[in-house]
Amino acid sequence: MTLSLFNQFSSPTHLGIPLILIALTLPWLLFPAPSTRWLNNRVLTLQGWFIARFTNQLFLPLNAGGHKWAPLLTSLMIFLLTLNMLGLLPYTFTPTTQLSLNLGLAVPLWLATVIIGMRNQPTHALGHFLPEGTPTLLIPVLIIIETISLFIRPLALGVRLTANLTAGHLLIHLISSASFVLLPMMPTVAILTTALLLMLTLLEVAVAMIQAYVFILLLSLYLQENI
């Protein structure tokens, strides 16, 4: 039973070829390309409005130096959002339930923000390790705590995204299995369980959107500290 539950999170392969590469490529094929016409269709207009509003809200607190990250973070937001939403479809694989993928996205971007802070304003970046007015006896302890909190940031980014999506998928799997089992024995309970499954699915849609936004929002906050 345990193996069957977690088998859905293993990367599928076909003829020895990992299909996660196809899953990672699919989001970019679904979005329509911009046209050269003066007026776009409704899909392109809605897509452009969403990207403009998200970028404006995300980068409003940042100065002009941080605006250079807008294309990267906005593209990553759309990428993660599409992967999370596609993973809710039946018989699909969610790459963002893999901790290795999420850490592969979180660690380089977090490291880039740290390097930018160390290069542009090293005094301010190192000042986070030791707040002003710290008692002498607490200086070694605070430096150790701040160093641990700094290096745990990319791990928290990856684990948060992985854990939330994995827990949601497991709950959907368990409740749907319970509905099929209870249907011939207790139809009323099975109907109530199915209603619970529908509400949980709506909740998972919201979680898929929120977790992609939180991932990018935290990266933008890390960037704001270092520019």
Is the pTM higher than 0.95? The answer reads no
**pLDDT recorded at residue 203:** 92
How many Å apart are CA 168 and CA 24, to the nearest integer? 20
Rounded to 10 degrees, the C-alpha dihedral 169/173/174/178 comes to 150
**pLDDT recorded at residue 6:** 63
Give the end-to-end CA distance of the chain in Å, rounded to a whole number. Answer: 50
**pLDDT recorded at residue 2:** 46
Alpha carbon 187 to its chain centroid, in Å, reads 38
pLDDT tens over the chain, length 227 residues: 445 666 666 677 767 777 777 778 887 777 777 677 777 777 778 888 888 888 888 887 777 777 888 888 888 988 999 999 888 888 788 888 888 889 999 999 999 999 988 888 888 777 777 777 777 787 788 888 888 988 999 999 999 999 999 888 888 888 888 888 888 888 888 899 889 989 999 999 999 999 999 999 899 888 888 87
Nearest to 173 by CA among 154, 200, 192, 148: 200
How many Å apart are CA 129 and CA 143, to the nearest integer? 5
CB 207 within 8 A of CB 215: no
Nearest to 193 by CA among 208, 165, 207, 173: 173
**pLDDT recorded at residue 199:** 92
